[in-house]
Amino acid sequence: MSLIINALTSNAAADFVQNSTAQVLSEGCLKAIGRPTFTLLDKSAEENERKYSATKEFLYQSLSMAAYFAIIFPFKKISYKFLKYFKPIKDLDVVKAKNKAEFDELFKNMPEGILKTKVKGANEVISILASGVILAMITPQIVNKIIHPIMKKLGIEKRKTLDRKV
Amino acid sequence: MKNMSGIMDKILTRIGSSNDSEIVTASLAAFKLIFIPVATMSDKEITLKQKAYAIKRDFVTELVALTGYIGITGLIKNNFTAPVCSKYYKQKARELAKAGKLDINSDDFKTLINTNSKLIKKSIKEATLNNQEKDYVKNLQGLAEKFSLHSPQKLYTNTKKTISHICVCTLALTIIPMITNKILEMYSKRKSKHQIQKDVSNKIYTPNKIEKMSEYMAKTRIGGLNVFNY
């Protein structure tokens, strides 16, 4: 019990869960396990429907994590460039930084207060939007392209064509 | 335009000051609610039935996720954060007493062991506290400094964030897919029932249909619908 309380109240746990990358990755990994499992358990659909949906779900969640790792970290190096599009902070010096190192330095030296909070918030909004584009727009299209070869390899689509012939 | 700038201001301040898990996950669920069914629609190599099921499932899952992440997470973090904080101080009081750093008859020990969870929650908005409550929170802050514990505000914020994330993870792993299964099962049963009623009223009595209907009725125990004596 004391271990649980210590973990729930610790600074390290709070810092970890504050990071949107950590949030997306931990949630995504759990979804890759939970959703396909429950899809296969759904008795309201036929077997081939369930198998297609579960395979798609599993591929989507696994690929999302890979795409996220591959894109979001390089993106974070240039994300500061988009801060100028946020009206409430566009005139700040930190937003006019010429490179990531300069931005980090200026942000670090900003006095704690509402302006620093807004810059942090804008950074998180950019990160959420980028995640949305990667996870909801790019990844599903890639999954569409690779799902059928994989399903054929697993024998799921082959069985479907045999069923049709019968 | 001025209004838009105000909204943007509020969003940046809110996310910048507390980027809770449910905000990120709910925003992503909103994206997925639209784009994933659209992507499934564009898959031309699957049968119509597979497509319909996958789209239905994606849409229901993301809709449940969107409401669950905001509603259930909000409910749990609002009701469980303060009791956990109170348990933290009680646990620390016992540990300090055990280590001989705190006398169990002292006022300090009594303050920590009888921590008022409601006041910890209230202490986040200091303006809402009355003088007596302010003194209590100040006393607790003093004790936290003295024994190197978390201050009530820091403790409440940390615990709220962690509980919110654990809740999001639990929802993602089990609760959301489970609710989706239930909804799809209910929808499928309802649809089949309507189909049978429609077929009966249209007097479609092919032997195959009758067999299917009686199978379905035996399975779902629909009463008052005797197709054979219709």
User: Looking at chain B from residue 5 to 64, which residues have their Cβ under 8 Å from any Cβ of chain A?
Assistant: 5, 8-9, 11-17, 19, 21, 23-25, 27-28, 31-32, 34-36, 38-40, 42-43, 45-47, 49-50, 53-54, 57, 61
Look at residues A126, A109, A14, A20 and name the one whose alpha carbon lies nearest to residue B11.
A126
Contact in structure between A44 and B180 (CB atoms under 8 Å) = no
Winning range, highest mean pLDDT, from A59-63, A137-141, B61-65, B113-117: B61-65
For residue A82, being part of any structural domain is answered with yes
ipTM of the complex model = 0.77
| Residue A85 pLDDT | 87
Alpha carbons B163 and B66: distance in angstroms, whole number: 18
List the single residue in B with minimal CA-CA distance to A41: B181
Cβ(B22)–Cβ(B74) below 8 Å: yes
Residue A32 near residue A58, CB atoms below 8 Å: yes
Please report, in angstroms and rounded to a whole number, the separation of the first and last CA atoms in chain A: 59
Containing structural domain, residue A119:
19-154
Let me know: does B189 contact B219? Beta carbons within 8 Å.
no
Whether residue A103 lies inside any domain: the answer is: yes
Q: Is residue A6 part of a domain?
A: no
Average pLDDT over every residue of A112-139: 86
Q: Is residue A149 included in any domain, yes or no?
A: yes
Does the pTM surpass 0.80? The reply is no
- pLDDT in the model for residue B14: 81
Tell me what pLDDT residue A165 has: 44
What percent of chain A lies above the pLDDT cut of 70? 94
CA B94 to chain centre: 33
pLDDT, tens only, A73-111: 888 888 888 888 888 888 888 888 888 888 888 888 888
In a domain, A93, yes or no: yes
Angle between helices B48-98 and A47-78 (to 10 degrees): 60
Per-residue pLDDT of chain B (230 residues; tens, 9 = 90+): 567 778 888 888 888 877 666 777 788 888 889 998 998 888 888 888 889 999 999 999 999 999 988 899 889 988 999 999 999 999 988 999 998 888 888 888 888 888 878 888 877 777 777 888 888 888 888 888 888 888 888 888 889 889 988 998 999 999 999 999 999 999 988 888 887 777 777 766 666 766 776 777 676 655 444 444 44
- Mutant choice from A3, A21, A25, A27 vs B, greatest count of B C-beta within 10 A: A27
pLDDT at B206: 67
User: Residue A115 pLDDT more than 90?
Assistant: no
Q: How far apart are CA A120 and CA A128, in angstroms?
A: 12
User: How many domains are there within chain A?
Assistant: 1
Rounded-to-integer distance, Cα B24 and Cα A28, Å: 12
> Which residues of chain B make contact with A48, given a CB cutoff of 8 A?
47, 50
Please indicate if any CB of chain A lies within 8 Å of the CB of B77: no
Torsion region of B20: left, alpha or beta (phi above 0 gives left; psi -120 to 50 gives alpha): beta
Please enumerate in sequence order all residues whose Cβ is within 8 A of that of A26, keeping only pairs 6 or more positions apart, or say none. B165, B169
A12 located within any domain: no
Mutate to test the interface with B, among A41, A44, A163 (most CBs of B within 10 A): A44
The more confidently predicted of residues A159 and B147 is B147
pLDDT of res. A67: 84
Q: What is the DSSP track for B138-174?
A: HHHHHHHHHTT---HHHHHHHHHHHHHHHHHHHIIII
Residue window 167-226, chain B: list those with CB within 8 Å of chain A.
168-169, 172-174, 176-178, 180-181, 184-185, 187-189
B166 contacts B81 by C-beta, under 8 angstroms: no
pLDDT at B212: 72
Rounded distance between C-alpha atoms, residue B26 and residue B175, angstroms: 15
Residues A49-54 have a mean pLDDT of 89
Q: Which residues make Cβ contacts (< 8 Å) with residue A122, sequence separation at least 6?
A: A83, A86, A89, B12, B16
Domain for residue A10, yes or no? no
Q: Does residue A2 fall inside a structural domain?
A: no
CB atoms inside a 10 Å sphere around CB B5: 12
- The two three-digit tokens of residue A166, written as one number: 């019968």
Give contacts of B38 with chain A, Cβ < 8 Å.
140
Is 50 exceeded by the pLDDT of residue A166? no
Q: Which residues of B touch A2 (CB under 8 A)?
A: 91, 95
* Min Cα–Cα distance to chain A from B197, Å: 19
Q: Write the pLDDT tens digit of every residue in A13-47.
A: 888 887 777 877 888 889 999 999 999 999 888 88
